[in-house]
Amino acid sequence: MRLELLVNGEQRVVDVPEDVSLLEVLREDLRLTGAKNGCGEGTCGACTVLLGGKAVRACRTPAARAAGQEIITVEGLSPREKEIYTFAFTAAGAVQCGFCTPGMVMEAKALLDRQPEPGEDEIRQAFKAHLCRCTGYQKIITAVRLAGRALRGEIEPRAGDPAGMGKAFFRPDAPAKVLGEAVFVDDMQVPGMLYGAVFRLPCARAKVKAIDVTAAKEQPGVVAVLTAGDIPGERYQGHIFKDWPALVAVGEETRYAGDALALVAARSSREARAALDYIKVDYEELPPLTSPQDSLAPGAPALHPKGNLLSETVIKKGDAEAALKSCAHVVTNTYTTPFTEHAFLEPESAVAVPEDSGLTIYTSTQGVYEIHTQLVSLLNLPPEKVRVVNKCVGGAFGGKEDLSVQHHAALLAWATQKPVKLTWTRRESILCHPKRHAMTITMTTGCDAEGNLVALVADLVADTGAYASLGAQVLERACTHATGPYRIPNVTIRGRAVYTNNPPAGAFRGFGVPQSNFAMESQLNLLATATGLSPWQIRWQNALEPGDTLGTRQVVSADIGLKDTLLAVKEAFESSPCAGIACGFKNVGLGVGTRDVGRARLAVSGGRVKIYSGAACMGQGMEAVLIQIVAETTGLPAALIDCVLADTARTPDAGCTTASRQSLFTGEATRRAAADLAAALKGRTLAGLEGRVFQGEFYGATDPLNSNKEHPVTHVGYSYATQVAILDEEGRVAKVVAAYDVGRAINPLNLEGQIEGGIVMGLGYALTEDFPVQDGIPVRQTLGRLGLLRSHQVPQMEVHLIEKGGTPYAYGAKGIGELATIPTAAAVAGAYYRRDGKLRLSLPLEGTPYARSGK
């Protein structure tokens, strides 16, 4: 089919298949990649363009329908519009990962073209077809209003604050993200590139008897079909435990529906996927184990050679069982929390390119060095022959720590000696990557007559799914944080992570703590009722203070601002009879004796300073953080500072972006390197330091869990928070007031955006998000059915930043990415408990206006 299209004022002619979408034509034929493919189902809005002046979802618009109508993409904005939208979205703090941003900009243009001065409700309604998993929408609404004012001539675009600590410095990556110029992996095109596809079985557990790829190899466009025998190195990989096969071999069992059996490389994505239908597998479907109880039952088949118990964690302080007998009030309940899907907007993608007798893999990950280690092992290549480069990361939240597409793209590229791109569909992403752990938590909590906590006994069972991922570590954090940020003299906690045939469970914002926090905070509400204390008062009198000890026996440091966060929200809580309150805390850094190092290198070249660090930015603003630290330390302006992140050939290993660690660990490494640069600059100019390199490293030493030390250092630091959720008369969340002990806010604007996004994610966890699994298969495999909150459903948010000195590192900065989500579900549950007196023991909460049928 030949199409004549008017795109951004230019006539274009393309020959395309009849069933092609407008998005495919724009991205693949016209190379206009500002419109993103986030879902392929018209749900996320990332592909929004204007067609005849109206906003449409290009992924669901047939290309033929666009003939004869003017098409405007983000690339087609006028220079003035580009200036205004870049300013507005940057100044409002509305840009994080940036994957959804160009679509948001086009929706804003459509709205402001027809209504130059919209109200907040109009903006919320206009954007209800868009999803953003990073920002929480509030700052996007602010950005649209700013853009409207600038377009009306009421204000002029301006620059942000100068770089430095505590400044609203405009993040350098924002303009490219706003205008669709930032390169995500699926935007890449390499000459001669092939496309990959993956074959999987339609069931969760099966014995593979034979695989026949003969017919698939003969299909049009197919260049290679690979199976397990074609892997040159170690087939089993994993982030920590090597229990996950890159390809399941004949004679083995699949362990979940996402397991890969064969790979196809072809000259087009359509040809690669079509060839999958010609792969013939003889298999015997086996009954899946779909719960930890099934897996731990006597006689259950072993899913792994070590059995079905991945790990066990025990925390003990004092004698909790004996202490419970002395308590005036004791409550016991069993809480359940579901699997949850990360739903980052950018599906997983990798481009593997053979070069210099090795491979370069362009990808989207939270840890380039972690991916590098596994690819070296898989391909059996020397480390220097494998390079991993991060492009822009379109959200992650823990869901991009494991291998996903990188190893399959690499295998196909190595076998064919041609570049290969492999991008998952949204369905594949939902089916395959690890989720938040479903947990069952039985907790007994006791206090004295005055409401002082005395003892806690808890048993946690986590469904870690088919493979380990980070399940053992997630379980540890759930256990170490199950006490909440409270003074409890006697603690006994046991946790077990159990293999099943469900999708793997791994890292997800909060890393196990949202689950145990929901249980602990709900218990506290019951004890408040029993003692006659208010929910605020019982938290205040039990809140950790300097010198107290955690459940792990670590001594609480002097920089704790937990009580300050309680004071900040007290009035908001006490002003409403239907307000719920919850506190939370979260470690910063890997801790528990794990070697944890941040690294940075500063190089002076051409009268400029370039920061090199292997830290990944997945939307949190890492580049801005490091530039601000260098500027603060050296006095140099941001205009002379550049940043290169996450490239194993160019940047030092700074560890994975996980555990809320990068601002502290890599921030401190950068500060140390910058301090050396500042010393060298005394009496000299940058020109006089041409070619000099300054190295920085920070090692956060900690002790193993259950160390025999009297007071071990479990983690280098903790952040603390209190949230209040306020319900309206209809029982909907009208407002969330939140206070965070952040140590030192490097960039308050970006920090607020992180927190707001985390709160909205927590609201979804509390109210609308579920991930039911039947026979090991996810029931909901589209983005639109996950229950993600949208702009018109999100309450007002009020954020208080408590700065109380922080750690001795990185100017006192502490992590916030995970903590932002942790107390939300418990605060919302507490609000409903105060409203109707019903204790809700499961998430998402039942009996609310948000509850949906078809669970």
The pLDDT assigned to 267 comes to 98
Are 133 and 789 contacting, i.e. CB atoms less than 8 angstroms apart? no
Does one domain contain both 152 and 221?
no
pLDDT for the residue numbered 804: 87
pLDDT single digits (tens) 594-646: 999 999 999 999 999 999 999 999 999 999 999 999 999 999 999 999 999 99
* Axis crossing angle, helix 513-531 with helix 824-836, rounded to the nearest 10: 30
What are the residue ranges of helices labelled H in 259-400? 269-275, 292-296, 320-324, 368-379
pLDDT for position 611? 98
| Cβ-Cβ contacts under 8 Å for 125 (sequence gap 6 or more) | 792
Look at residue 558 and tell me whether its pLDDT is greater than 60. Answer: yes
* Domain-located, residue 170: no
390 and 439 share a domain?
no
User: ∠ at Cα 505 (789, 793), nearest 5°?
Assistant: 5
User: Is 298 part of any domain?
Assistant: no
Task: Give residue 797's Cα distance to chain centre.
Answer: 21
Q: Are 108 and 138 in a shared domain?
A: yes
Report which of 107, 88, 92 is spatially closest to residue 48, judged by C-alpha positions.
107
441 and 424, same domain (yes or no) = no
Whether the per-residue pLDDT at 51 is higher than 60: the answer is yes
Task: Write out the two tokens for 242.
Answer: 């090597």
**Residue 89 reports pLDDT greater than 80:** yes
Asked, for residue 787, whether it belongs to a domain, the answer is: yes
Q: Which long-range contacts (CB under 8 A, 24 or more apart) does 164-168 make?
A: 164/628, 164/631, 164/632, 165/628, 165/629, 165/632, 165/744, 165/746, 165/811, 166/744, 166/745, 166/746, 166/747, 166/748, 167/628, 167/747, 168/93, 168/747, 168/748, 168/749
Segment 107-133 shows an average pLDDT of 97
- Do 390 and 508 lie in a common domain? no
Owning domain of residue 495: 312-340+435-591+711-836
Q: What is the sign of the dihedral through the CA atoms of 168, 169, 173 and 177?
A: positive
| Cβ-based neighbours of 273, under 8 Å, separated by 6 or more | 197, 264
In a domain, 842, yes or no: no
Q: Which CATH number covers residue 614? A: 3.30.365.10
Pair 348, 403: CB distance under 8 Å: no
587 and 626 in a single domain? The answer is no
- pLDDT of 853 > 70? The answer is no
Q: Name the average pLDDT for the chain.
A: 97
Residue 334 in any domain: the answer is yes
Question: Would 300 be classed as within a structural domain?
Answer: no
**Domain ends where: 413, 428, 443?**
428
Task: Examine residue 844 and say whether the peptide bond preceding it is cis (omega within 30 degrees of 0).
Answer: yes
Q: Is the pLDDT of residue 413 over 50?
A: yes
Question: Could you tell me the CATH number of the domain that includes residue 244?
Answer: 3.90.1170.50
Do 806 and 719 sit in the same domain of this protein? yes
**Which of the four pLDDT bands, split at 50, 70 and 90, describes residue 151?**
very high
Report the candidate in 793, 791, 802, 821 with the shortest Cα–Cα distance to residue 142. 791
- The reply to whether 534 and 633 lie within a common domain is no
Buried b (16+ CB within 10 A) or exposed e, 399-415: bbbbbbbbbbbbbbbbb
Q: DSSP per residue over 632-668, as a string?
A: HHH---GGGEEEEESBTTTS-----S-TT-HHHHHHH
Residue that finishes a domain, picked among 635, 669, 699: 699
Residue 393 contacts residue 421 (beta carbons within 8 Å): no
Residue position matching structure tokens 């170490």: 480
The angle that helices 824-836 and 748-767 make with each other, rounded to 10 degrees, is 50
Could you tell me how many helices (H) and strands (E) the chain has, helices first? Answer: 21, 32
| First-to-last C-alpha distance (Å) of the chain | 43
Q: Are residues 632 and 781 in the same domain?
A: no
Q: Is residue 294 part of a domain?
A: no
Read off the pLDDT of residues 801-850 as tens digits, 9 standing for 90 and up: 999 878 899 999 999 999 999 999 999 999 999 999 999 999 999 999 99
Long-range contacts of 683-689 (CB under 8 A, 24+ apart): 686/604, 686/607, 686/608, 686/609, 686/636, 686/640, 687/607, 689/604
Domain match, 530 and 658 both: no
Q: Tell me: do 274 and 411 sit in the same domain.
A: yes
Q: Which residues pair with 211 in a beta bridge?
A: 281
Total domains in the chain come to 4
Judge if 42 and 123 occupy the same domain: yes
Structure tokens at 563: 């009580």
Contact 382, 157 (CB under 8 A): no
Q: What's the pLDDT tens digit per position in 706-723? A: 999 999 999 999 999 999
Weakest-pLDDT range from 259-268, 396-405, 744-753, 844-853: 844-853
pLDDT for 855 equals 39
Let me know: does 234 contact 191? Beta carbons within 8 Å: no
Is residue 166 assigned to a domain? no
- Structure-token match 């405009």, residue found: 170
Q: Could you tell me the CATH number of the domain that includes residue 8?
A: 1.10.150.120
Q: What is the pLDDT of residues 254-298, one digit of tens each?
A: 999 999 999 999 999 999 999 999 999 999 999 999 999 999 999
Count of Cβ atoms closer than 10 Å to residue 798 Cβ: 17
pLDDT digits (tens, 9 = 90+) for 663-674: 999 999 999 999
| Run of H or E residues at 218 | none
Mean of the pLDDT values across residues 785-791? 97
pTM for this prediction: 0.97
